[in-house]
Amino acid sequence: MSVKLQTPIDYLKGVGPNRADLLRKELGIHTYQDLINLFPNRYIDRTQYYKINRLQRNNADVQIIGKITAFKEVAQKRGKRLVGTFQDDTGTMELVWFRGQKWIRESLKLNKPYVIFGKTNWFNGKFNMPHPDIEGLEEHKGNLRSVMQPVYPSTEKLSNKGITNRVMSKVMQQLFLETGKKFTETLSENLLTELKLIPKSEALFNVHFPTSQELLSKAQFRLKFEELFYIQLQLIIKNLVHKSKIKGFPFEKVGNYFNTFFKAHLPFELTGAQKRVLKEIRADLGSNAQMNRLLQGDVGSGKTIVAFMSMLIALDNGFQACLMAPTEILSVQHYNGLLELCNNLNISIKKLTGSTKTSERKKIHESLENGDLQILVGTHALLEDKVKFKNLGLAIIDEQHRFGVAQRSKLWKKGGPPQSSQREEAKKSLPSGEISGASIPPHILVMTATPIPRTLAMSVYGDLDISIIDELPPGRQSIKTVHRYDKNRLNVFKFIRDEITKGRQIYIVYPLIQENEKMDYKDLMDGYESIARDFPLPDYQISIVHGKMKPADKDYEMQRFIKGETQIMVATTVIEVGVNVPNASVMIIESAERFGLSQLHQLRGRVGRGAEQSYCILMTSHKLSNDSKTRLETMVRTSDGFEIAEVDLRLRGPGDIMGTQQSGVLNLKIADIIKDNDILQLARHHAKNVLKTDATLSSTNNKVILDTYKSLGKYKNIWNYIS
Ligand SMILES: Nc1ncnc2c1ncn2[C@@H]1O[C@H](COP(=O)(O)OP(=O)(O)OP(=O)(O)O)[C@@H](O)[C@H]1O
């Protein structure tokens, strides 16, 4: 059987070289197996028949039994059309063909019972059906698709090239005929029995030729479960292998740095969530495995202190730590924040960014290599080859979405040479025969302020451990969010004046979308000028920050705002992540309809960081699309980052959410990451269970799972294994 499924699609009767080419190019179908795994995306109920006198205008999926009583050719502007009079016991209508007329005339017989299927139009006082799907009544009765007709994805696109849905169904029938309808089972007996799943062969048959809704549902459930099960199995195994194979340095103790800070210098009491997450990190760092953890926390939830205290554990064990942020502004801010926290602890900390002067750079390189420097904060400048640590024990990455996996792995190699003394010490505590020092990577903590819907996190980051800070520090007031139109601008400006009089600061953010950069900069500069007119010197001071400014100028403007020397900050989204100015209490987002939901949420997170009541005003001037309306309404309704992320996922689909590209979620053939969330949870639960009792999948019962798992490519196509 396996030989058969690998057969190139050209060999299937009814395909031929032209169709084979189309199938390959347009649908990526090369073999019999690819074809079997092209699942229909919907089904038409073909047990219902219309009567001609019950037709309404523009009915889709209409099926009628009747006969053709006459043909005529009608001249039209270019060429002619063929018209057939079609009659049932209630009336007549017309069938129309604009091409293939000769063949139609030859193959269809007058007065023979036919079943026609298609979309009806109303033209010249009559119903007609152009290019109907047509078959003899007898043939129709014996046809499997006469119950529920599958509609295959993309056939619409290909139907004018000859691959109609009907052709696809025929080809599929032929395929099942040639393969004998028998396919190797790919789930274990235990799973089949426990979950009452139908066998593989039955599922494949019923998904392509369903004979009832009930069987179709069972077939879909089984195949969706299977698809998600193997993705989850793969992710969990990856995580387990990581934990058992990739050794990390066990940070055994919590020492002076941590304890002194905790007892004497903690600026506030930690929230329950911060404590829980710190415990999770502490447990990772103390184990023999390398930590590979994602720290999710909504904007303003207090990730920085967690990051800092994790660094203290590294320092307590004689290791260095680093923190990498995606932008200069953010890394400077992190640096300033951490510098303050380091103040009483006598810790050496430096920052390294693109604008660090060469002489300073040299000093940093030296002190990193000789171990004098304990913490380095910076941008991707940290990844440069010249940056060598003596013994990097913990690397923290803020907002890794912007860095990507390749850069994350670059940090892995920065651990430092194996001969350093702490490394030697740490190695001694590893079980004997483990990986050599050179290949022991630092622990990695990835922080993100963009909540990732749990469903997606499970699929995309299933191989990372995830910690969530789901509690805001006490005393935070919710940010009042409103949507205002351009015509309300005067009121909005009055509101800004009032807030400034109270001593608050204001952000005004303009969109900046790369494709339209020129226009956007013009909008920003026009906006700036108009604000400068309405808020004139010397009463008002305005900062402006955008991506085209030199880093030093940006920093200067940013610092003026942070110090409270300016009251208004006009900016593009460069201030989107992480910027922390507690006195800023109003966020005005211009052309808010142009921002994505998670971006709006991030921007709003820049206010509400102090004790004062804060506001977010979403300004729009244009007519809104439905999606934009949903985005703005969601922002006004809720400030829960996870809820917002769920809506975002529904609106944009997983494809646009960063990080999904590397995962299997985009290649799903039958399951839907959003709609099939329940099946996903079930699949994850069972994948975990199977591995809990039989981690190596070596039991007889799990042999089928092991075989299937082994034949999986790197999620490229989870269905490449039936044989
Ligand atoms: N437990 C706490 N109690 C009171 N204030 C806290 C607590 N934790 C953090 N904060 C304060 O809350 C503010 C936000 O914290 P932080 O900057 O760490 O948030 P964040 O999670 O990094 O958010 P973002 O991703 O938006 O930068 C800071 O001013 C910080 O000092």
What's the pLDDT tens digit per position in 480-493?
Answer: 999 999 899 999 99
Phi, psi of 429 (to 5 degrees): -85, -5
pLDDT in the model for residue 657? 53
Pocket test for ligand 1, best of 265, 268, 604 (most atoms within 8 A of CB): 268
What radius of gyration, in Å, describes the C-alpha atoms of the chain?
Answer: 32
Q: Quote the CA–CA distance of 5 and 53 in Å, as a whole number.
A: 48
Helix or strand run (H / E) with residue 222? helix 213-245
Q: Ligand 1 centroid vs 117 CA: distance in angstroms?
A: 63
Q: Which atom of ligand 1 is nearest to the CA of 270?
A: 1
Helix or strand run (H / E) with residue 480? strand 480-485
Q: Ligand 1 centroid vs 275 CA: distance in angstroms?
A: 14
pLDDT in the model for residue 584? 93
Closest-CA residue to 668 (of 712, 706, 717): 717
pLDDT in the model for residue 409? 59
Of the pLDDT bands very low, low, confident and very high (cuts 50, 70, 90), residue 407 is low
Q: Quote the CA–CA distance of 267 and 86 in Å, as a whole number.
A: 84
Q: Ligand 1 centroid vs 582 CA: distance in angstroms?
A: 10
Q: Quote the CA–CA distance of 602 and 401 in Å, as a whole number.
A: 14
Q: Ligand 1 centroid vs 308 CA: distance in angstroms?
A: 12
pLDDT in the model for residue 144? 61
| Residue 296 Cα distances to 50, 270, 300, 348, 463, angstroms | 55, 16, 11, 28, 15
Nearest alpha carbon, ligand 1 atom 30: 302
Nearest alpha carbon, ligand 1 atom 15: 302
pLDDT in the model for residue 67? 97
Tokens 């909504």 sit on residue = 298
Candidate from 335-344, 447-456, 551-560 with smallest mean pLDDT: 447-456
Nearest alpha carbon, ligand 1 atom 10: 302
Helix or strand run (H / E) with residue 542? strand 542-545
User: What DSSP character marks residue 8?
Assistant: B
Pocket test for ligand 1, best of 261, 305, 644 (most atoms within 8 A of CB): 305
Q: Ligand 1 centroid vs 578 CA: distance in angstroms?
A: 10
pLDDT in the model for residue 268? 92
Q: Which atom of ligand 1 is nearest to the CA of 297?
A: 21
Residue 561's CB: how many other CB atoms inside 10 A? 26
Q: Quote the CA–CA distance of 606 and 556 in Å, as a whole number.
A: 19
User: At 177, which amino acid appears?
Assistant: L
Helices (H), 15-55: 16-27, 32-36
Residues with CB under 6 A from ligand 1: 268, 270-271, 274, 297, 299-305, 449, 473, 578, 580, 582, 605, 609
pLDDT in the model for residue 428? 45
Q: Ligand 1 centroid vs 300 CA: distance in angstroms?
A: 5
What's the pLDDT tens digit per position in 370-380?
Answer: 999 999 999 98
Closest-CA residue to 21 (of 30, 32, 34): 30
pLDDT over threshold 50, residue 298: yes
Nearest alpha carbon, ligand 1 atom 5: 473
Candidate from 75-84, 393-402, 449-458, 649-658 with smallest mean pLDDT: 649-658
Nearest alpha carbon, ligand 1 atom 14: 300
Length of the chain: 723
CB-count exposure of residue 367 (10 Å: 0-12, 13-18, 19+) = middle
Strand-pair partners of 8:
31
In the chain, what are the helix, strand and coil shares in percent, each to the nearest 5?
Answer: 45, 20, 35
| Residue 494 Cα distances to 334, 490, 534, 554, angstroms | 34, 6, 10, 28
Q: Which atom of ligand 1 is nearest to the CA of 606?
A: 26
pLDDT over threshold 50, residue 717: no
CB 250 within 8 A of CB 283: no
Q: Ligand 1 centroid vs 637 CA: distance in angstroms?
A: 23
Q: Ligand 1 centroid vs 335 CA: distance in angstroms?
A: 15
Q: Ligand 1 centroid vs 368 CA: distance in angstroms?
A: 29
Close Cβ partners of 682 (under 8 Å, ≥ 6 residues apart): 195, 225
User: What DSSP character marks residue 36?
Assistant: H
pLDDT in the model for residue 190? 95
Q: Quote the CA–CA distance of 268 and 271 in Å, as a whole number.
A: 9
Prior bond of 199 cis (ω within 30°): no
Nearest alpha carbon, ligand 1 atom 22: 303
pTM exceeds 0.90: no
What's the pLDDT tens digit per position in 31-45?
Answer: 898 899 999 988 888
Q: Ligand 1 centroid vs 306 CA: distance in angstroms?
A: 10
Nearest alpha carbon, ligand 1 atom 3: 473
CB 683 within 8 A of CB 228: yes
Nearest alpha carbon, ligand 1 atom 26: 299
Helix, coil or strand: residue 254: coil
Nearest alpha carbon, ligand 1 atom 7: 473
CB 181 within 8 A of CB 209: no
Taking residues 106-131, report their average pLDDT. Answer: 90
Q: Ligand 1 centroid vs 169 CA: distance in angstroms?
A: 58
Q: Quote the CA–CA distance of 289 and 390 in Å, as a whole number.
A: 21
Helix, coil or strand: residue 45: strand
Nearest alpha carbon, ligand 1 atom 27: 578
What's the pLDDT tens digit per position in 412-447?
Answer: 666 655 444 544 544 444 333 333 334 578 998 988
Q: Quote the CA–CA distance of 233 and 187 in Å, as a whole number.
A: 12
Torsion, Cα 642 645 651 655, to 10 degrees, reads: -130
Q: Ligand 1 centroid vs 454 CA: distance in angstroms?
A: 23
Residue of 655 and 622 predicted with greater confidence: 622
CB-count exposure of residue 154 (10 Å: 0-12, 13-18, 19+) = middle
Q: Ligand 1 centroid vs 292 CA: distance in angstroms?
A: 23
What's the pLDDT tens digit per position in 80-91?
Answer: 899 999 999 999
As given in the structure block, the two tokens for residue 352 are 């390294």
Pocket test for ligand 1, best of 277, 301, 448 (most atoms within 8 A of CB): 301
HSE-up of residue 447 (Cα within 13 Å, Cβ side)? 29
